[in-house]
A and B are shown apart, each in its own frame.
Chain A
């Protein structure tokens, strides 16, 4: 990459880590290697460094009080829903959601689905957006990004670590809600065979399996949002900007979905597919491949955008 060298070699801002420098430091770490923009993980030292970085990243994320509080608050919601359902009863419940609430009174596992359908549209995305939107911009804002890049990690690898970290948090958010709902459900409501939306009754074990499918699907949906937030995070050095932009996107798309005139747009919007987890409650299990494909498309598009932006960006803080 000699072109980049000559360009940034001349004028040098104090504290600036130019693109070429990151690359050089990454190249030094794994000496016999083709200079590559992608900086793919190396079989030996690279992989170890990658996992070490990811481990430290995960440690930071799951020790950070802010993140733990978000997980705690989300896990509290199923408890509140459970207690309210138990104490008030569901006699006068009516309509789609009401029936689901009524089903909860009859079976413990249904609380998981109630909790997820209440949290998936907004609260869980907010938690994911905070962590993923903070990932790059937050480091830039506190001035730690250039130290991360000075370490022999390579930008592509740092981005991969940041994304995997956000994905891990997405799974944690979903699991926190599901596990909390499961525990509360088992404590408060009868345990036994589960009635699906199709009117079929399946065993408790089958019900647990369906919860597992749901957790996987919702996590994938949140991971897609994390990719969007990560891409926005590479655009700014103010983490609140990236987080706010992600939230605005979520809210705008949710509002757009409310207009029947814009029905044609709905399949392309991310939040439309989040609620597709109700396929796990049908018999036979509903087709969730459309939603998963949409998530994959979002992840591919926004991760590559984030990479293109981040690997070409001069880091000044």
Chain B
């Protein structure tokens, strides 16, 4: 029989002391002149502030546990995710934020309905303790994979516009002309996740499971949730990317099927010092 121990809390002093470990990557990055130190420090600072604020917000949200507030919170996450994808991929925000929002919303409704409604069968579907973190995990992962997929798709189309035109001219079928670009985007975005999933438990222990075990859950319970969340993330990411590409296509081409100019409007955000 497994006896679950009480969680060992981390004091703010201990947490602050933990930051010292960052000196190791900072020294390495400095030695190799990567230009990433500033980005690392900004990233770590942002992560700290954002998570501390989220900790406070989530405390209130869990206490209130109001369906409308929880829905609004998730919609804000969808909106921020869509904006981040537009910024990071360098695509024209005016053209593509709306399709990304619609894709995020549609995929989340489907995934949440299936996993929270049909699998976990929550009595209260919008329970903040489940609805917000699970939606957040799906949206966060979708955002990262969308950035890779959308970048590959539109970079491919812009750089190989001649190939797209060639396929469109000779097949007179836009779906056939776009197929190589969609294949490339899906492979680049989803391959790493599939590879990661296939070695999960062998060479990596996922964060959510680790968090649950540290929080007092039994490993068996944590693993069941981890499997469910992995399925939800994989499906959510695939669906979100697929829908983002589908809805984006409505804005990316003119009435003649030709690629519009000005799809990529800015250089992608890359790490710099």
Do these two chains interact? Answer: no
B residues bordering A, Cβ < 8 Å? Answer: none
A residues bordering B, Cβ < 8 Å? Answer: none
